[in-house]
Amino acid sequence: MTINYDELADNVTQKLLNYGFSVKVISRAVPATAPQWAKNCNAWSVTVVYKDRAMVTTYYTGSGITRIPSAADVISCISGDYATMGNYDNIDEFAQDFEGDSISETIRTYMAMVKQSRAYARLMGGANAIEEVDRIVQDY
């Protein structure tokens, strides 16, 4: 069975919009402070709005991906990062799994993911909303 990526993205995006999300994506230069792995990526400034709350973050895509990221792309990635960070109690555990080029890159990445995870938790306002988004994006 062949999966039509655009159709799937449109379907998941529509479900997220129906759930109350809006996403604004603007192309931007890769920040000078970005980790080494991001240097050859496309960077996007993303504003995610849910109900009366918003979060702003930088979203990266590989250099071969030239289309603007969909709401499904952005929110599934943020929710996945949030779930991943739930596996770590501290930076030492994170560092065992993360293969950064340096200790400082590992620390910067960990701190960025902690910051983003906290922003996502505030945006969602509780476990029920987080679980519902996980359900919406689970097959994406």
CA dist., res. 42 & res. 85, Å (int):
23
* Residue 91, token pair as written in the block: 């930076």
pLDDT digits (tens, 9 = 90+) for 14-52: 999 999 999 999 999 998 888 788 889 999 999 999 999
Rounded to an integer, what is the distance from CA 77 to the centroid of its chain?
Answer: 4
Q: How confident is the model over 72-97, as pLDDT tens digits? A: 999 999 999 999 999 999 999 999 99
Span 57-74, pLDDT tens digits: 999 999 999 889 999 999
Sorted by where each begins, the domain ranges of the chain are: 5-137
Q: What is the model's pLDDT at position 2?
A: 79
* pTM, rounded to two decimals: 0.89
